[in-house]
Amino acid sequence: MNQKFVPPKRKTKVVFVQLGSPEDPSPRALRKYLRKFLGDPRLIDWNPWLWKIILNFFVLPFRPRKSAKLYERIWDGESFPLITNTAEFTNKVRKHLQAIDPEGHVEVNHAFLLSPPYVNEVYDSWENDLKNGTGATKLMVIPMFPQYSESTVASGIDALAKELSKRVKIPTFEVITNFHRTHAFIDNSVKMIDAKLAEMQENGINPDKLLLTFHGMQKRRVVEKGDDYYRHCYETFRLIIDRLENIEPNKAIMTFQSRFGSEEWITPYTEDTVEELISEGDENIVVYSPSFVVDCLETTDELGYELAKEAKEWGGNIHTVDCLNINDDWCRDFATYTLTQAEGSAQDKEDLEYQMTSSDYDEMPVLILEKGGYSVSKEVFHHTLESD
């Protein structure tokens, strides 16, 4: 006898998608991780055949051992901060949703592109729920990258599209491609930075400069391909510094970190800026990275360890501001944001974000591609092996 069909009730399944981390800080695990990570054509958009040769013969034989040493510094013995913070963030958002959405119209899960639970596992759980009559009628994916870029958000969309291509049942679905202008993200970033600045001042330390450092990107992607990432970074910078209470806007600088390869990347570079500021007499530099909502290798190690160590050698000090991580206000506000995206009206959704005017962009530096693209040479191989 066929099981009686139970019509599903209206519900949205929201999936917070993050990149992921290696299984552990071993060269073996890093080789597996980097093979998938650096093999993504969205991340490395060079000639695919050429990059395949570089990756397999010049990167994977050498890079994993070096990267393993970096990841070992942020390993807690069981996991990495990106994994644990993302899981706990999802749990806290879920608890806040229970208070503001008692009827359960929205459920939240998390998934990683390069770590379990993978996107396909979350999709499997949705299909199983359908069999029990509890499956969601809509799927919403929120990549946990505040600013859009091809190499992050589009990569996540590719992973979703690949999974959908294998499935028979496909729900109504939506992808949120950025949230960098939201009150939830901006206001809580401002609180974190202002709290750090106040703490320093209470301890008799004068913050000389504030760096909002974003993950780097090749200029070519913005100038030639039209990627929105740089504009989104500037919008984030503008919205944050205009709302800070404990430092003047003219003491804030937008910089970019994490170069890879020999192409011309968006400037100014974070490391170079810190060295220059210290040489000019700025001893105490506060650093916050709005490209990330959870601490990871780029924040905990690259900024909190490597950059801080270099700054000491140059005669200065780096004071890092933690990412939003599992801050309760952030989790509560993002729960409201998530519910509104799933259930709110068009006006409700518009009210989630700060609005920009044309005059807000008057001071945005214009990117000029001085080198005119890129070419593959010995320099490419050298920087590919050496850059962090």
User: Tens digits of per-residue pLDDT, 63-100?
Assistant: 999 999 999 999 999 999 999 999 999 999 999 999 99
Q: What is the mean pLDDT of the chain?
A: 92
**Look-up: residue for tokens 């210290």?**
278
Which range, of 76-90, 133-147, 190-204, averages the lowest pLDDT? 133-147
pTM above 0.85, yes or no: yes
Distance linking the first and last C-alpha atoms of the chain:
61
What order do you get walking across the sheet with 317-320 strand by strand? Answer: 252-257, 209-215, 284-288, 317-320
Burial per residue of 35-73, b for 16 or more beta-carbon CB atoms within 10 angstroms, e otherwise: eebbebebbbebeeeebeebbeeebbeebbeebbebbee
Cβ 154 vs Cβ 17: under 8 Å: no
Cα–chain center distance at 96? 22
pLDDT tens column, 312-334: 999 999 999 999 999 999 999 99
Residue-range domains of the chain with CATH: 12-175 (3.40.50.1400), 183-325+358-386 (3.40.50.1400)
Q: What is the 3-state secondary structure (H, E, C) of 338-353?
A: HHHHHHCCHHHHHCCE
User: Residue 104: is its pLDDT beyond 60?
Assistant: yes
Summarised one tens digit per residue, pLDDT across range 207-230 is 999 999 999 999 999 999 999 999
DSSP lists the bridge partners of residue 172 as 138
How sure is the predictor about 22, in pLDDT bands with cuts at 50, 70 and 90? very high
pLDDT range class, residue 262, cuts 50, 70, 90: confident
Residue predicted with more confidence, 51 or 189: 189
Find, among 188, 186, 202, 208, the residue nearest to 318 by Cα: 208
Sign of CA dihedral 126, 128, 130, 132: negative
Strands 252-257 and 284-288: unpaired
pLDDT of residue 369: 87
**pLDDT band, residue 6 (cuts 50/70/90):** low
- Tell me: pLDDT of 359 over 50: yes
Asked if residue 376 has pLDDT above 50, the reply is: no
Percent of the chain whose pLDDT exceeds 70: 93
Res. 387: pLDDT tops 70: no
Whether pLDDT at 120 is above 60: yes
Helix (H/G/I), strand (E/B), else coil: 136: coil
For 90, 196, 246, 337, 357, the CA distances from 250, given in Å and listed in that order, are 36, 18, 12, 31, 20
Find out whether 264 and 256 touch, Cβ atoms under 8 Å: no
pLDDT of res. 375: 42
| Omega within 30 of 0 (cis) for the link into 268 | yes
